[in-house]
Amino acid sequence: MAIEIEKPSVGLSKVAVSETHGEDSPYFAGWKAYDENPYNESSNPSGVIQMGLAENQVSFDLLEKYLEEHSEASSWGKGAPGFRENALFQDYHGLKSFRQAMANFMEQIRGGRARFDPDRIVLTAGATAANELLTFILADPGDALLVPTPYYPGFDRDLRWRTGVKIVPIHCDSSNNFQVTPEAMEAAYRCAESMNLKVRGILITNPSNPLGATIQRTVLEQILDFATNKNIHLVSDEIYSGSTFSSSEFISIAEVLETRGYKDSERVHIVYSLSKDLGLPGFRVGTIYSYNDKVVTTARRMSSFTLISSQTQHLLACMLSNKEFSENYIKTNRERLTRRYDMIINGLKTAGIECLKGNAGLFCWMNLSPLLEEPTRESELALWKVILNEVRLNISPGSSCHCSEPGWFRVCFANMSEQTLEVALKRIHKLMEQRRRRN
Amino acid sequence: MEFTRNNNRQLLSKVATNNRHGENTPYFEGWKAYDSNPFHPTQNPQGVIQMGLAENQLCFDLIEKWLLENPDASICTAEGIDRFRDIAIFQDYHGLKEFREGVAKLMGRVGGNRVKFDPNRIVMSGGATGANETVMFCLADPGDAFLVPSPYYAAFARDLRWRTGLEIVPVDCKSSNNFRITRAALEEAYEEAQRSNINVKGVIIANPSNPLGTVLDKETMRSLVSFINDKSIHLVCDEIYAATVFGSPRFISVAEIIQDMDCNRDLIHIVYSLSKDMGLPGFRVGIVYSFNDCVMNCARKMSSFGLVSSQTQFLLAAMLNDEEFVGNFLRESSKRLAKRHHVFTKGLERIGISTLKSNAGLFFWMDMRPLLKEQTVQAEIELWRVIINKVKLNVSPGSSFQCSEPGWFRVCFANMDDETVQVALERIREFVHQGKEEDGVSEKSKHWRKQNLRLSFSSSRLYNESLMSPHMISPHSPIPQSPLVRART
């Protein structure tokens, strides 16, 4: 039995003792409230409804149907042919058939308007790992990446924690639907310079989390031009590219490069994942697609720290190379997400709540600024606490996404049944009625 | 402005442009020779036999049988599909409870059931590769150093240093005492580091050892723990080969050692994996098991960067919780490894080649010092070139493990079938006899007169960058060219 030793606690790294893992943000506190009192239609109808988790649960039946009809993907259960090769396979190039399938899938999502070379696909265990890995490659500790606000709270950890790289926000506001502008990019760049930070790149999420909207072509062009002028990298996290409500409205940076003849494309890198579009976050499937050979080679070597399970690569290679399945999935998934979106937008509208006009993603960006006591972050958090504890909905406050305008909230709608969504909408109606009566 | 080659250098990070990924070393050149001319019993019997890859291919039949009998362990079969969506959604970095329980049970069992491992301390990572890196991120800052007894696993140079910015201070171990780690060597390395203003944060060992194939005895373990405790630095034990032990002495986990010692448990951390013991490197199951709550919590948060696929967690949970299967697997695996080890080492003994006495790992440590022109690394590399190009065996030279004594080679034996084993032995026999004939030494003699050995080799350049094309298969797996496994695609 070890003696209790009266010593100062033994030294850990600075990384270990820092708070840059970001888990102390309200973003995660809401989950705690949910975990302690989770809604259940029958057993806990007054529990907290989870609307802070961007998961896609609307299309599982399509996946299950595929599996039931295609035993080759589940071949281990019935004779295990190919098991040992698969179990041994740890080549960081990844299963060729899987890379091919991913490249095809990415092309299909973009309606064939861009081509993807399977040999440029680097596999990582989730987009979380992909974004961190790219940051390690593109920037040194102490350097900065420019990121438009509001942005996914996880970026604070993924881009900064172990890399030592800083995020300098590009401020966006509702005056132009939170779109990035050249002025805002310049301002962020100057801000970084004034802090003596070397800017190495700009990272955008398209479609945007938390806005739930795609970036317009002109804006993409401006962002690419900006990156070119400053001679920095452009990372486009396109994790929600398959979750657009209409196939034509999403424009990938790949398409912009295509129209430019891939001139100067070596500064562009795309991150993708199956966690949102296919609803498979547990499987840890992320990819980096880079137009820069050295980045591809280095990323591939670095992926040794975060490879995708060969078992999972095998399963998904089978599934995604089935064109009939993938085409039908993309189409059906889009339709169902659109339906959900319409449902929540209309429900909120009748409650008197406006949202940013969205066209993608698993969430909507809700404007509750009229309800704020004062246009401040504190007021926003106070309102958030009321919604969490009294209305019992876990939604994400805009401040946790670094939104500079208080009063906006991200509300997820694809991680629950339609019935649960109805219940959530009813509760919101009630809240709004109460507020109206009070006034 | 376009990205020029020069520009690339400045436009990527220092981490991206340095060589700490480690691929520009001779270690990987041997694989190149294998990849371009892989042995196949019928299609390419003159090809290079891969003996540089520490894989365990001896017990797949047992796992395949279990899979056939347990279709519900897969979420893709009719029997398991009702679990599909719950598992597909599950990305909680605590990991599936049953998975953690299965791993904890396995670790306990592998340690001879002398220690109970707490499932709540089990933290996932992207293979042991990810686990070792994660632990370093938790324990040390850029510029800090870890003491590493040599010879050590070649890829530690990458795993411990590349993205973390740490340094390795080798602690040289010598053949004169069978490469044991001595307190004196540790003290000396530590003091030397202090004098050079290098901040040593800990010691990392592999037990059983790669490349030696030996288990650390109790005394050495206790001495190690006492050393790090006195200095108040960390001890990381990579126990990835724990279940590859056969015969005696038995494997003793550091977890067992600290049960009977006064030491600060906050300094003790274990890395584990299923890649060697179970032969499942493709599944990327790395485990961090720390006795330090802060490190455990930090490593768990970091596991977001390398979680085990929930599909794989689910499968392995079922497998590892089948105690009958696990017991049988471990027993059978030990038996088969012992047999394979015996065939090789006895075969080599008959030819006059000695190996370090070992009873663990998927390799043995072969003594080729008598065959060296001179006792230098250069001579070792020259001999290695001959072994690859003339004898057509890809073995790994001791220098790639930072061994301070030239002439030792690591030879993997568990990644091939029995027939290939015989072919390999025969080739060594021939090579040795050829040498004897040229040497004019009688067959009774077991020693060599080095100067008579004519070694031919090609270029003296150890590394040729242009040959490292993106299409070269990674160092980690030559599949589908593995001699045991037939290519399918």
What are A1's two structure tokens?
């039995």
What are B331's two structure tokens?
């027993």
Tokens 């593995």: give the residue: B482
Sequence-distant (≥ 6) Cβ neighbours of residue A415 within 8 angstroms:
A50, A51, A53, A54, A55, A56, A57, A362
pLDDT at residue number B469: 31
Distances (CA, A) of B417 to A155, A188, B56, B270: 48, 61, 11, 32
Partners of A168 in the β-ladder: A146
A408, A368 contact by CB (below 8 A): yes
Distance CA B286, CA B124 (A): 6
Q: Which of B279, B310, B476 is facing A91, going by the closest CB pair?
A: B476
Reported ipTM: the value is 0.94
Active site residue A237: yes
CA distance B351 to chain A (A): 32
Active site residue A395: no
User: Whole-model pTM?
Assistant: 0.92
Q: Which of B304, B473, B488 to mutate to test the interface with A (most CBs of A within 10 A)?
A: B304
Sequence-distant (≥ 6) Cβ neighbours of residue A118 within 8 angstroms:
A96, A99, A100, A102, A103
pLDDT at residue number A76: 54
The answer, for B91 touching chain A at a CB cutoff of 8 Å, is yes
Q: Which of A204, A237, A253, A291 is catalytic?
A: A237
Region A6-15: mean pLDDT is 67
Active site residue B240: yes
Q: Is the pLDDT of residue A1 over 60?
A: no
pLDDT at residue number B475: 42
Q: Which of A34, A276, A291, A329 is catalytic?
A: A276
Sequence-distant (≥ 6) Cβ neighbours of residue A260 within 8 angstroms:
none
Sequence-distant (≥ 6) Cβ neighbours of residue A136 within 8 angstroms:
A163, A302, B13, B15, B16, B163
Show residues of chain B in contact with A308, CB under 8 Å: 284, 309
Tokens 């696909």: give the residue: A121
What are A65's two structure tokens?
């149907």
Distance CA B479, CA B487 (A): 7
- Contact: A5, B473; criterion CB under 8 Å: no
For residue A116, count other CB atoms closer than 10 A to its CB.
22
Active site residue B276: yes
- Contact: A79, B130; criterion CB under 8 Å: no
Query: Consecutive 10-residue runs of chain B (489 residues): their mean pLDDT?
Result: 49 89 77 90 94 94 93 91 94 97 98 96 98 98 97 96 97 96 98 97 98 97 98 98 96 97 97 97 97 96 97 97 97 97 95 96 96 95 94 95 97 94 94 74 42 33 32 36 32
Tokens 């986990």: give the residue: B253
CA distance A65 to chain B (A): 10
pLDDT at residue number B483: 34
Query: What residue type is assigned to position B457 of the chain?
Result: F
B458: Cα separation from own chain's centroid: 29
Distance CA A216, CA A305 (A): 35
Task: Calculate the average pLDDT of chain A.
Answer: 93
**pLDDT tens-place string over residues A292-330:** 999 999 999 999 999 999 999 999 999 999 999 999 999
pLDDT at residue number A8: 39
Sequence-distant (≥ 6) Cβ neighbours of residue A178 within 8 angstroms:
A150, A172, A208, A211, A213, A356, A365
Sequence-distant (≥ 6) Cβ neighbours of residue B10 within 8 angstroms:
none
What are A35's two structure tokens?
């975990």
Peptide bond into A38 cis (omega under 30): no
Query: Taking CA atoms, what residue in A is nearest to B8?
Result: A294
Where does A16-160 show beta strands of DSSP type E?
49-50, 121-124, 144-148
Sequence-distant (≥ 6) Cβ neighbours of residue B63 within 8 angstroms:
A83, A87, B278, B279, B319, B329
**Helix H or strand E segment including A156:** helix A155-160
Region A387-409: mean pLDDT is 96
A147, A155 contact by CB (below 8 A): yes
Q: Which of A5, A12, A55 to mutate to test the interface with B (most CBs of B within 10 A)?
A: A12
pLDDT at residue number B25: 74
CA neighbours closer than 13 Å in the CB half-sphere of residue B359 = 12
Q: Which of B27, B34, B152, B153 is catalytic?
A: B153
Query: Taking CA atoms, what residue in B is nearest to A415?
Result: B89
**Helix H or strand E segment including B414:** none
CA distance A433 to chain B (A): 35
The answer, for A266 touching chain B at a CB cutoff of 8 Å, is yes
Show residues of chain A in contact with B63, CB under 8 Å: 83, 87
Q: Which of A70-79, A100-109, A416-425, B156-165 has the lowest mean pLDDT?
A: A70-79
pLDDT at residue number A11: 81
Residues 235-264 of B with CB under 8 A from A: 258-259, 261-264
Q: Which of A162, A166, A304, A329 to mutate to test the interface with B (most CBs of B within 10 A)?
A: A304
Q: How many CB pairs under 8 A join A and B?
A: 292
Q: Is the pLDDT of residue A131 over 90?
A: yes
Distance CA A105, CA A110 (A): 9
CA distance B89 to chain A (A): 5
